[in-house]
Amino acid sequence: MKDVNAELISIGDELLIGQVTNTNASWMAGELNKNGINVIRITTVSDSGDDIKEAIKQAEKRAEIILLTGGLGPTKDDITKQVLADYFNSKMVFHDPTFEQIKTIFAARNFKVTEVNKKQAEIPESCTPLFNAHGTAPGMWFEKGNLVLVSMPGVPFEMKSLVVDQVIPRLQSKYKLNFIFHKTIMTTGIGESMLAEIIDDWANKLPEYIKLAYLPQPGIVRLRLSASGKHKKKLEDEVKKHCRKLTTIIPEIIFGYDDISLEEVVGKQLLSSGLTLSTAESCTGGYIAHLITSIAGSSEYYNGSVISYSNKIKETQLDVNPVILDQEGAVSREVIEQMASGCRKHLSTDYCLATSGIAGPDGGSEDKPVGTVWIALATPDGVKSKLFHFGEHRGRNIRKSAIAALNMLREELKSHSNNEDKATS
């Protein structure tokens, strides 16, 4: 069965100048994809009649479904309705049910309906109006052969209601839709190119209807498997089978599935084992603490952090030896291990993660360039530490340091759990 393709067109100068973030398009793409509709392009255009018409004209060549958002307000810069009327060679007509909705909304707010507001009840005669329960501008459904074009308000909660309650059900009735199934494998500890080389043979053996995408971000590479076809369960079973094969190839770097965060995985490990954590952060400046506490319920296992950005705090709060600090420098194995041990003792936790490095863009040297980071993990059995070289971008260095630290803890907790299982078996 042939895929049904959709294009999304977002209208508004505010989107093009960066004044408003286009969250509508990403949300609609997700909803359409969940319902077996393949989004092949997202376009943003200005509040210009010519630009809107040209975007629709080009989209018609590629897709069966076109969804427009924006430009349906009551002011002069909202021109979408008239543009669509011209495009479909339709005259504007007054729609009484829409006007009743406008009057109801305005009465509830104790507002007077003006002539400008009344014009919102005018719609192209060739469209099927879609009742907007949350606003004054109706959605508009146009059909032209096998093409469907739907115009909706740009206000997110109005658009979402129309999509879920009316647009998706209508599309499901009109088209025979394939099922689309995605599975995301979350990995860390290895770069995209090296990972691709390791799993190349596995990737080449995927069937044609399962597509692999690499989605890298600082410290993490997501592997997304996407399958499309008529039989939902067959697709799911086949994708999961290939996921299981992958876990035998790279078991140590897979930390979860379907966009679960590393901090959530670590939190679940700590919670299930009844263990506690603290952090001593220098170059990450509290970012690890932020990630950990972004997870609901983290107070059950996370005691707190010492942000030891200065050497004085390292000495007074974490018991770092000032002589060692002077001899080795703050970015060193000796100092990071003392930071982790001192924080673990003072905050009374089972584990402590510590970071010290040169985030940049300044502060590097020939021996310790920007991106040099030491990470230590203090455990009940001692302290482990590791040196990393992340690069020159400050923001990425902080993010990569946090991910590497959490992964160090994840691996330790996994090993701890395996050892406990062996001891009780």
Q: Do 311 and 405 belong to one domain?
A: yes
- On the question of pLDDT at 423 being above 70, the answer is no
Identify the domain containing residue 74 by its residue range. Answer: 4-174
- On the question of pLDDT at 113 being above 90, the answer is no
Q: Do 365 and 384 belong to one domain?
A: yes
- pLDDT of amino acid 211: 95
- pLDDT of amino acid 117: 82
User: Domain ends where: 140, 174, 208?
Assistant: 174
- Rounded to an integer, the average pLDDT of 111-115 is 86
Query: Could you tell me which of 345, 321, 335 has the C-alpha nearest to residue 374?
Result: 335
Strand order in the sheet with 351-357: 302-307, 277-281, 351-357, 372-379, 382-389
Q: Do 167 and 205 belong to one domain?
A: no
- On the question of pLDDT at 425 being above 80, the answer is no
- Rounded to an integer, the average pLDDT of 52-59 is 97
User: Domain ends where: 198, 222, 257?
Assistant: 257
- pLDDT of amino acid 1: 63
- On the question of pLDDT at 284 being above 80, the answer is yes
User: Domain ends where: 204, 230, 257?
Assistant: 257
Answer for the pair 225, 151: CB distance below 8 angstroms, yes or no: no
- On the question of pLDDT at 412 being above 90, the answer is yes
Where residue 76 sits, what CATH number does that domain have?
3.40.980.10
Query: Total domain count for the chain?
Result: 3
Amino acid at 245: K
Coil vs helix vs strand at 38: strand
- pLDDT of amino acid 61: 96
Burial label for 19, CB within 10 Å (0-12, 13-18, 19+), is exposed
Where residue 399 sits, what CATH number does that domain have?
3.90.950.20
Q: Do 40 and 12 belong to one domain?
A: yes
Q: Do 355 and 313 belong to one domain?
A: yes
Burial readout 372-390 (b: 16 or more C-beta within 10 A, e: otherwise):
bbbbbbbbeeebebeebeb
pLDDT bin (cut points 50, 70, 90) of residue 313 is very high
Q: Do 89 and 184 belong to one domain?
A: no
Place of tokens 């020159």: 392
d(CA 359, CA 284): 8
pLDDT bin (cut points 50, 70, 90) of residue 422 is low
- pLDDT of amino acid 75: 81
The most confident of 43-52, 68-77, 130-139, by mean pLDDT: 43-52
